[in-house]
Amino acid sequence: MSDRRHALVTGGGRGIGAAIATALVAAGYRVSITGRDAGKLAAFANSLGEHCRAVGMDVGDRASIEAGMAAARAAFGPIDVLVNNAGQAESAPFHKMDAALFERMISVNLMGVFHCTQAALPDMLAAKMGRIINIASTAGLVGYAYVSAYVVAKHGVIGLTRSLALELASKGITVNAVCPGYTETDIVKDAVANIMAKTGRSEEEARAELAKGNPMRRLVQPQEVADAVLWLAGEGASSITGQSIAVAGGEVM
């Protein structure tokens, strides 16, 4: 059996999660990546080599999470590091938002973190060590117009991070959140398309609109978020818990 630690990254097949999985494999972890599109996920896992495996999992469904965690353990052993990364961002003005959108955002972005963390925690409690890293958002720290459901869910993730950090502080397990600003992934591509459709702006103007909230006037790169996760997962971050670290060019402080 390898002494490589086992990290499970939800939504690890693309965007920020793919950058995190790539960084963890390169740093010597065995990495399970989860997602709903099993075919694409397996192709990406194969591209990272023998220390990465794809696991089908819908974070909106507890049974699917339990089955996915069991498959991940069977391949790579108990889970040492959980990265709750899977997420979705839908926008709508609050007065036009239907309850289904609100519930969807809470289900994937907040209940998903609840279910995945409960499912992985027994491994960490048994080992008396572990790392839980939640990919929240600057939307977990401040409000933004037209994405109130997403903002509510991400604020909830920050609250859970803080409470759970205290519950687990004496058990060798740290719990932290990483809070990216607008990051160059499909979520941003969708937001750009949305701005173009609703305002008639060009792609360049729409991207500039998203980047203008970042004092560095650029979008964050997925690798920059992955670097923060790698540090939090490592030995050097043993005393860091309950923190929400913005990776956002100074947008939030």
Catalytic site positions: 150
103 counts as binding ligand NAP under rule CB under 6 A: no
d(CA 215, CA 242): 26
Binding to ligand NAP (CB under 6 A): which residues in 167-206?
Answer: 180, 182-183, 185-188
Which amino acid would we find at residue 28? G
**Minimum CB distance to ligand NAP smaller for 41 or for 168:** 41
Tokens of 76: 């790579």
Q: Is residue 88 at the binding interface for ligand NAP, with CB under 6 A as the rule? A: yes
Of the two residues 130 and 140, which places its CB atom closer to ligand NAP in the complex? 140
Quick one: tokens of 24?
Answer: 């963890």
- Asked whether position 14 contacts ligand NAP by CB under 6 A, the answer is yes
Nearest CA to 176 out of 120, 139, 133 is that of: 133
With CA atoms as reference, report the closest residue to 124 among 71, 167, 64. 167
Q: In sequence order, which residues have a C-beta less than 8 Å from that of residue 39 and are 6 or more positions away?
A: none
Site for ligand NAP contains 59 (CB under 6 A): yes
Question: Does 86 participate in binding ligand NAP (rule CB under 6 A)?
Answer: yes
Closest approach, Cβ 19 to ligand NAP, in A, equals: 8
Q: Which two tokens stand for residue 221?
A: 């790169």
- The Cα 218–Cα 222 span in angstroms is 13
Q: Is 25 in the site for ligand NAP (CB under 6 A)?
A: no
**Residue 16 or 124 having the CB closest to ligand NAP:** 16
Contacts to ligand NAP by CB under 6 A: 10-11, 13-17, 35-37, 57-60, 85-89, 108, 135, 137, 180, 182-183, 185-188
